[in-house]
Amino acid sequence: MPRYALKVEYHGGPFAGWQRQADQPSVQGAIEAALAKLEPREHTIAAAGRTDAGVHALAQVAHCDMEKDWTPFRLSEALNYHLKPDPVAIVDCARVDDGWHARFSALERRYFFRLLMRRAPATHDKGLVWQVSQPLDAEAMRQGADHLVGHHDFTTFRSTICQAKSPVKTLDAIEIAEVQGLSGPEIHFHLRARSFLHNQVRSFVGTLERVGAGAWEPQDVKRALEARNRAACGPVCPPYGLYLAGVGYPDDPFV
């Protein structure tokens, strides 16, 4: 059966997350239903990562196995037709080897987070950013974030229901930039690692927001990390501003 890699963009607002669920809408379920319109049978697709409810994607990667030998262009066009009106789009498609796997072949995941700083409620960006009413000290946040980069036990920054075998991970990079968005000043977080723990990025951002607001000192992030205790984490921020921005592979199938 020919295997295809799919680059998927979606708005996470209407979904209970990526993973298929029996009684709630999911991104996986929407794509599998579209595949069943093309080849009527049960379809199961695999993704590079399972995003939570409300989390978005700019470049999630999944793979599917088809019976027919589709051209990538025709497959993506047909899927996009049947995905309407769900806010899900196949932005690229490529034929891959049978042994290629969206999750297990991946070398890194990249996440992007948008934090909007303004008092007036967001309108155009509602559901796409985490909004706070006060300005934040981005430089203090960078100093706090420096303590998180590297190989650490991230017990403090993972959900209590995280299913990963170990809390020890390597965070390759976390970059924090101040930008002027269409709705007002924003702080953007760019994070890169081979893999992430459940709620790790949202735990990072929620904790660093406390640093930017002056409630925590940058050194407090190091103390929280070294505590290896979930109770030492700052507030976990909401999912609205989080995006799966990209997945890295030894050979990019979409090039």
Catalytic site residue from 52, 65, 172, 220: 52
Read off the tokens for 114.
Answer: 């948008």
The DSSP annotation for the chain comes to --EEEEEEEE--TTSSBSS--SSS--HHHHHHHHHHHHS-S----EES--PBTT-EEEEEEEEEE-SS---HHHHHHHHHHHHTTSSEEEEEEEEE-TT--TTTT--EEEEEEEEEE-SSPPSTTTTTSEEESS---HHHHHHHHHTTSEEEE-GGGS-TT---S-SEEEEEEEEEEEEEETTEEEEEEEEEES---TTHHHHHHHHHHHHHTTSS-HHHHHHHHHHT-GGGS-PPPPSTTEEEEEEE-SS-TT-
Check if the beta carbon of residue 238 is closer than 8 Å to that of residue 130: yes
* Residue recorded with tokens 């890295």: 248
Q: Is residue 83 exposed (0-12), middle (13-18) or buried (19+ Cβ within 10 Å)?
A: buried
146: annotated active-site residue: no
Read off the tokens for 147.
Answer: 């303590």
> Could you give the residue numbers annotated as active site?
52
